[in-house]
């Protein structure tokens, strides 16, 4: 089905006030946003309107029962000025997977894609062209229906907002391996991009920051013997010349960047193992000098190298390598995203 999208343009653009050479991440917002309402058992036609606050009743169920999910995507410009997306249908599929788990109505893929493309056309001038910059795209869905009774809502909103952004992380990232708190549990919603997952991360992360670390490496909820994610990112560990990452499960997000990195590593003949990684294995590798790299992967940062980690009151530094896998793989994926290299897997979508 093809949705009719009504567009109301902003009277005066804010773009002249934006310094595209010094963009923060995710805090400068483009002129327009897309909104689509689920009501009376069906999704209505999306609309594109000027970016502005939204009005909700105090009894809207998002405030009380947390039915909220989101995605993270990026749009790029290539050297010819073409607008490019990277594996956008994967984001839509994952959004709907999250929606199913939180009993939120799924959005038809064609409605999602058409709305996203129209929004990007309207705010085309907001897509940065500077090296390392992109237009960050945040689709999200939440319960807008009213009522204090503990049950799924009868109305929902899909919204898409965008933000021209520079690099997500800068400088060294030092992490603490978590021994007490868990990000998610078996049978829970860890695999979904649910807002509550991230809210629950903030307290243990703040404790780690107070100890001098930047982020937390999450371990399994039962024994805390196996590493699973790094902050809000999937994690990779390089021991000797083999790249390791944890298998996805109820607790671990099926990261689109993670999947892409696994494929690119195979393309580049980098040995990869997808298996459980014990904390003890990582510590022993650090002590023996065979631990070469650790890095997080995700849409925002793409790849974020980890320079050291703490565990049981002891700190371990990782070596500085001349040609780390993190740099090789980051260049490989960003070159595909920005149309600087051949796209062997059909990941790039041009508007």
pLDDT band at 49; cut points 50, 70, 90: very high
Q: Helix count (H) and strand count (E) of the chain?
A: 7, 21
Number of folded domains that form the chain: 2
What is the per-residue pLDDT for 53?
A: 97
In a domain, 60, yes or no: yes
Of 276, 291, 292, nearest to 226 by C-alpha is 276
Residue 318, number of CB atoms within 10 A of its CB = 19
Among residues 103, 130, 165, the one where a domain terminates is 165
pLDDT band at 246; cut points 50, 70, 90: very high
Same domain, 333 and 186: yes
Q: What is the pLDDT of residues 132-190, one digit of tens each?
A: 899 999 999 999 999 999 999 999 999 999 999 987 765 679 999 999 999 999 999 99
Same domain, 12 and 92: yes
CATH number for the domain including 228? 3.20.10.10
Same domain, 101 and 194: no
Of 334, 113, 124, nearest to 347 by C-alpha is 334
Same domain, 136 and 246: no
In a domain, 349, yes or no: no
In a domain, 342, yes or no: no
Average pLDDT (224-252) is: 95
What is the per-residue pLDDT for 124?
A: 97
Same domain, 89 and 180: no
Distance, CA of 27 to CA of 25 (rounded, Å): 6
User: For the residues of 223-260, what is the DSSP string, one character each?
Assistant: TS-EEEEETTEEEEEEETTEEEEPPPBTTB---HHHHH
The pTM of the full predicted model, rounded to 2 decimals, is 0.95
In a domain, 230, yes or no: yes
Same domain, 135 and 180: no
The proportion of the chain whose per-residue pLDDT surpasses 90, expressed as a percent, equals: 93
Residue 72 sits at φ, ψ, to 5 deg, of: -130, 125
More confident residue, 131 or 283: 283
Among residues 130, 165, 200, the one where a domain terminates is 165
User: Is residue 347 predicted with pLDDT exceeding 90?
Assistant: yes
In a domain, 20, yes or no: yes
CATH number for the domain including 16? 3.30.470.10
What is the per-residue pLDDT for 131?
A: 87
Same domain, 14 and 150: yes
Same domain, 33 and 143: yes
In a domain, 189, yes or no: yes
What is the per-residue pLDDT for 170?
A: 59
In a domain, 344, yes or no: no
What is the per-residue pLDDT for 169?
A: 63
Same domain, 210 and 296: yes
Q: What is the pLDDT of residues 4-19, one digit of tens each?
A: 899 999 999 999 999 9
What is the per-residue pLDDT for 236?
A: 98
Full domain range(s) for residue 259: 174-337
Same domain, 183 and 148: no
Same domain, 149 and 295: no
Among residues 136, 165, 194, the one where a domain terminates is 165
Q: Are 242 and 292 in contact (CB under 8 A)?
A: no
The proportion of the chain whose per-residue pLDDT surpasses 70, expressed as a percent, equals: 98
Tokens 């009504």, located at residue:
6
Tokens representing 165 are 């952004």
What is the per-residue pLDDT for 61?
A: 98
Tokens representing 306 are 């980890």
Distance, CA of 141 to CA of 114 (rounded, Å): 17
Same domain, 313 and 233: yes
């Amino acid at each position: 089905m093809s949705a009719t999208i009504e567009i109301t343009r902003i009277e005066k653009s804010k773009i002249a006030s934006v310094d595209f050479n010094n963009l923060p991440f995710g805090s400068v917002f483009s002129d327009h946003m897309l909104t689509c309402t689920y009501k009376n058992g069906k999704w209505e036609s999306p609309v594109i309107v000027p970016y502005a606050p939204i009005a909700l009743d105090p009894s809207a169920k998002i405030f009380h029962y947390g039915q909220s999910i989101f995605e993270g995507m990026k749009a790029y410009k290539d050297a010819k000025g073409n607008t490019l997306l990277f594996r956008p249908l994967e984001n839509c599929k994952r959004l709907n997977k999250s929606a199913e788990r939180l009993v939120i109505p799924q959005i038809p893929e064609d409605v999602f894609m058409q709305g996203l493309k129209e929004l990007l056309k309207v705010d085309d001038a907001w897509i940065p062209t500077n090296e390392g910059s992109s237009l960050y795209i945040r689709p999200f869905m939440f319960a807008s229906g009213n009522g204090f009774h503990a049950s799924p809502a009868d109305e929902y909103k899909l919204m898409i907002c965008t933000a021209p952004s520079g690099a997500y992380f800068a400088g060294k990232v030092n992490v603490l391996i978590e021994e007490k708190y868990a990000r998610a549990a078996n049978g829970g919603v860890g695999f979904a991009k649910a807002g509550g997952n991230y809210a629950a991360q903030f307290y243990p992360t703040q404790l780690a920051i107070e100890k001098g670390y930047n982020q937390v490496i999450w371990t399994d909820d039962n024994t805390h013997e196996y590493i699973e994610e790094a902050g809000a990112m999937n994690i990779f560990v390089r021991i000797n010349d083999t790249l390791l990452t944890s298998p996805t499960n109820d607790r671990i997000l099926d990261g689109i960047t993670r999947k892409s990195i696994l494929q690119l590593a195979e393309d580049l003949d980098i040995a990869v193992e997808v298996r459980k990684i014990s904390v003890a294995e990582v510590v022993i590798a650090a002590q023996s000098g065979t631990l070469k790299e650790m890095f997080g992967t995700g849409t925002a940062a793409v790849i974020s190298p980890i320079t050291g980690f703490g565990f049981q009151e002891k700190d371990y530094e990782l070596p500085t390598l001349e040609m780390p896998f993190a740099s090789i793989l980051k260049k490989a994926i960003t070159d595909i995203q920005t149309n600087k290299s051949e796209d062997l897997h059909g990941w790039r979508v041009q508007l």
